[in-house]
Amino acid sequence: MRKEKKLPAISDLPRLSAPQLQATHQEMFGAKHPIANCQYLRRKIAWHLQASKEGGLPESVRQYAFAIARGAELRVRIAENLSRRQTAIPLEQSVMTAVVQTRDARLPMPGSLVVKKYKDRTLVVKVLDNGFEYEGRRFTSLSTIAAEITGTRWNGFAFFGLDREVRRAS
């Protein structure tokens, strides 16, 4: 008969060393974690200790989260991750490791308004999922809108000041 080890209390986790955290992870999940990052292991173990004590997430919330993850274009599933397959960690316990950007990072989220003052006028452009709306008409690019407003060719990001926002953020 296998003797169960007593799991630590959440308050004890900050005092545990990396090997102790790995041993606790092994006891809780049946496998050592491939990365011995103490902060990550403490958070993961603490979350599971608290969830087992308090009841975790309701099933309806879990299913809702899975539905969002399945439908989100930004997420990349890592079913082929070799380290997880070698350690036999079930996919439910794996995490997403990459985000694929499907939109230009300079663009605000769909539904946002881009506002610019130009020659005593206030220009308002609404960002859509696939394009832009200006004065009730749809456009495929900001450059087309800028050219219509000014009568000359413009880089739309430069005209609306969106290229500065990216430089300021980085």
pLDDT digits (tens, 9 = 90+) for 102-112: 677 788 888 88
Averaged pLDDT of the chain: 79
- Give the distance from CA 8 to its chain's centroid: 30
Residue 84 covered by a domain? no
pTM beyond cutoff 0.85: no
Which has the closest alpha carbon to 145: 156, 161, 157, 129?
Answer: 156
Residue 67 covered by a domain? no
Is the Cβ–Cβ distance between 127 and 114 less than 8 Å? yes
Range of the domain at 29: 1-56
Higher pLDDT, 151 or 32: 151
Residue 68 covered by a domain? no
pLDDT at 78: 44
Residue 88 covered by a domain? no
DSSP string, 6-30: PPPPGGGGGG--HHHHHHHHHHHHS
**How many domains in the chain?**
2
Residue 87 covered by a domain? no
Residue 23 covered by a domain? yes
Q: Please check the confidence at residue 122 and state whether its pLDDT lies above 90.
A: yes
Residue 52 covered by a domain? yes
Look at residues 56, 77, 95 and tell me which one is the last residue of a structural domain.
Answer: 56
Q: What angle do CA 29, 41, 60 make, to 5 degrees?
A: 60
